[in-house]
């Protein structure tokens, strides 16, 4: 048994205090810039850069360049699972913040080009993921049979959206939430539908969006937007 087990390299990556501090910050599921992570881990930017390179190299983190910022986030939920598994062995446990925060109001809901963004957009897509209406790929979401059924209930024509030339169900990174929401043709069709049904209302001359009482009821019936 001369070959070192494959988990050793991952353990070594997670074992360094600086990298661990970065991963703990990213454990909230949002995307952070390199500079923010350097600050969170209390090291200089060049040190942080070296660590982030290793983590990306090992596919623990994904990175998206935006202007002169580079946004890093956990590459998949498997990474969060591994951190959690290690934490179980330690005395204190990590708590996934987006799971415990149930009752926070939908602040900062807004549109992003032609689809929903902000807390509302992110919560909505996460509800859909939790209910297995969508599955998550690298750059896009896929619609499951359950998702097709839900969209049919809302009278959204999935196939029409799919046939358009623009991408179908793109993952769009939200710069305030630092999380993904649903863009593409499907995101636009969904937003259009929710406004048409008056579940959502947009104040004139503003991108801010609010949920109407009608929408409250509708989302509740579909088991969306709730913990």
Partner DNA sequence: GCCATGTTTCGACGCGGAACGAAGCGATAC
Partner DNA sequence: GTATCGCTTCGTTCCGCGTCGAAACATGGC
The residues that touch a second copy, with contacts defined as CB under 8 A, are: 1-2, 4-17, 19-21, 23-25, 40-42, 58-60, 76, 78-79, 81-94
d(CA 134, CA 106): 21
d(CA 92, CA 52): 25
Task: Decide which of a second copy, DNA, none touches 50; Cβ closer than 5 to 8 Å per partner kind.
Answer: DNA
How far is Cα of residue 122 from the mean position of the Cα atoms in its chain?
Answer: 7
Nearer to a second copy, 49 or 76 (CB): 76
d(CA 17, CA 1): 29
DSSP string across 192-216 = HHHHHTTSEEE-TT--BEEE-HHHH
Q: Does 12 bind DNA (CB under 7 A)?
A: yes
Task: Decide which of a second copy, DNA, none touches 156; Cβ closer than 5 to 8 Å per partner kind.
Answer: none
Task: Decide which of DNA, a second copy, none touches 8; Cβ closer than 5 to 8 Å per partner kind.
Answer: a second copy
Q: Does 162 bind DNA (CB under 7 A)?
A: no
Q: Is 209 left (phi over 0), alpha (psi -120 to 50) or beta?
A: beta
Could you tell me which residues are beta bridge partners of residue 70? 65
Residue 139 beta carbon to DNA: minimum distance, rounded to whole angstroms: 20
Residue 171 burial (10 A CB sphere; 0-12, 13-18, 19+) = buried
Q: Does 73 bind DNA (CB under 7 A)?
A: no
Residue 212 beta carbon to a second copy: minimum distance, rounded to whole angstroms: 25
Q: Does 116 bind DNA (CB under 7 A)?
A: no
> Going residue by residue from 27 to 66, which x/- string records binding to DNA, judged by CB under 7 A?
------xxxx-x----xxxxxxxxxxxx------------
Nearer to DNA, 64 or 149 (CB): 64
Pairing of strands 171-173, 180-182: antiparallel
Residue 46 burial (10 A CB sphere; 0-12, 13-18, 19+) = exposed
Task: Decide which of a second copy, DNA, none touches 2; Cβ closer than 5 to 8 Å per partner kind.
Answer: a second copy
Could you tell me which residues are beta bridge partners of residue 208? 110
Nearer to DNA, 38 or 133 (CB): 38
Residue 69 beta carbon to a second copy: minimum distance, rounded to whole angstroms: 20
Interacting residue ranges for DNA, rule: CB under 7 A: 12, 16-18, 33-36, 38, 43-54, 67-70
């Amino acid at each position: 048994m001369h070959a070192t087990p494959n988990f050793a390299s991952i353990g070594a990556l997670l074992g360094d205090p600086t990298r661990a501090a970065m991963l703990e910050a990213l454990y909230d599921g949002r995307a952070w810039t390199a500079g923010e992570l350097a600050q969170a881990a209390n090291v200089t930017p060049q040190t942080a850069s070296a660590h982030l390179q290793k983590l990306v190299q090992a596919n623990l983190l994904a990175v998206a360049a935006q202007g002169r910022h580079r946004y890093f986030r956990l590459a998949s939920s498997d990474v969060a699972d591994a951190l959690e598994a290690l934490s179980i062995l330690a005395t204190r446990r990590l708590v996934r913040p987006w799971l415990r925060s149930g009752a926070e109001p939908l602040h900062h809901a807004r549109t992003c080009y032609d689809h929903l963004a902000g807390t509302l957009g992110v919560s909505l897509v996460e509800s859909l993921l939790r209910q297995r209406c969508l599955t998550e790929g690298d750059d896009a979401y896929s619609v499951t049979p359950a998702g097709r059924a839900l969209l049919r209930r809302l009278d959204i024509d999935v196939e029409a959206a799919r046939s358009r030339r623009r991408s179908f169900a793109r993952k769009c990174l939200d710069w305030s939430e630092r999380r993904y929401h649903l863009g593409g043709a499907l995101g636009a069709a969904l937003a259009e539908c929710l406004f048409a049904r008056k579940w959502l209302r947009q104040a004139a001359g503003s991108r801010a969006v609010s949920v109407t009482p009608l929408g409250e009821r509708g989302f509740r019936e579909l088991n969306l937007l709730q913990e």
